[in-house]
């Protein structure tokens, strides 16, 4: 790129986008769209998409880890002998869908706390519109500790759905402390239980 070439920003995360970045975003979007429930009961919301494919719930890789493995555990879905497709289809049948405020992994060169907070804030209007007009969940559950400071904005956005919280906070599925993640998974199991009728 020359100095006069305008910077291209990704429409899924707002970060500067190379052709590889866009290709990966479109791939993740294709994977996720395949398992979007027709009737969405619980929308799981993370701060940003994980870097590793195996940690992305909708990846076709059979061995889930990180965020994806935590969500499978919280949903009480046994992964033994099951393909990724079978696990993802179970989420779909339960009316559970995962998305992220930033639909791409964070660029490692700009991943500080201030950058993340500002990037999340800047994406909220688009996300709120998507939730109201397209996703229309009955319940919204936050799975990233980075979203806890933004919960009040979600509460005042009139999204037309219940907010599922962990004592007023997000369920920290992305916490670096394994004990905290295990405790959060245990508390999160009630949220991901078979949906109640409303």
Q: What is the pLDDT of residue 151?
A: 94
Q: What is the pLDDT of residue 110?
A: 57
Q: What is the pLDDT of residue 174?
A: 65
Q: What is the 3-state secondary structure (H, E, C) of 185-196?
A: HHHHCCCCCCCC
* Long-range interactions of 160-169: CB distance < 8 A, separation 24+: 160/131, 160/132, 160/136, 161/43, 161/131, 161/136, 161/137, 162/138, 163/139, 164/42, 164/139, 164/140, 164/191, 169/142, 169/145
Contact between residue 152 and residue 170 where contact means Cβ atoms under 8 Å apart: no
Cβ neighbours, 10 Å, residue 52: 13
Cα dihedral value 102, 35, 26, 134, nearest 10: -60
Q: What is the pLDDT of residue 126?
A: 93
Tell me the three state secondary structure of residue 76: coil
Contact between residue 198 and residue 138 where contact means Cβ atoms under 8 Å apart: yes
Per-residue pLDDT of the chain (198 residues; tens, 9 = 90+): 445 455 788 888 888 888 899 999 999 999 999 999 999 999 999 999 999 999 999 999 878 888 898 899 888 888 888 899 999 999 999 999 999 999 998 876 556 677 888 889 999 999 999 999 999 999 999 998 889 999 999 999 999 999 998 888 888 776 556 777 677 777 788 777 755 444
Helices 178-188/66-74 angle, 10° precision:
40
Rounded distance, CA 71 to CA 55, Å? 10
Please choose, from the candidates 26, 12, 184, the residue with its C-alpha nearest in 3D space to the C-alpha of residue 106: 12
pTM across the whole model: 0.87
* Long-range interactions of 187-190: CB distance < 8 A, separation 24+: 188/74, 188/141, 188/143, 189/74, 189/75, 189/76
């Amino acid at each position: 790129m020359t100095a006069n070439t305008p910077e291209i920003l990704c429409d899924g995360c707002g970060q500067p986008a190379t052709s590889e970045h866009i290709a990966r975003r479109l791939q993740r979007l294709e994977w996720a769209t395949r398992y979007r429930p027709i009737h969405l009961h619980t929308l799981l919301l993370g701060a940003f998409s994980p870097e590793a494919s195996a940690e992305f719930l909708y990846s076709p890789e059979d061995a889930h880890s990180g965020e994806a493995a935590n969500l499978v555990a919280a949903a009480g879905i046994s992964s033994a002998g099951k393909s990724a497709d079978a696990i993802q289809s179970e989420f779909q049948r339960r009316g559970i869908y995962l998305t992220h405020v930033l639909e791409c992994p964070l660029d490692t060169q700009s991943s500080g706390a201030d950058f993340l907070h500002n990037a999340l804030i800047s994406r909220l209007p688009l996300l709120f519109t998507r939730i109201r007009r397209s996703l229309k969940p009955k319940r919204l559950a936050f799975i990233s500790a980075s979203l806890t400071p933004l919960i009040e904005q979600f509460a005042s956005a009139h999204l037309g759905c219940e907010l599922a919280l962990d004592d007023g906070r997000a369920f920290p599925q992305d916490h670096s402390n394994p004990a905290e993640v295990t405790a959060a998974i245990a508390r999160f199991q009630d949220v991901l239980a078979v949906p109640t009728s409303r």
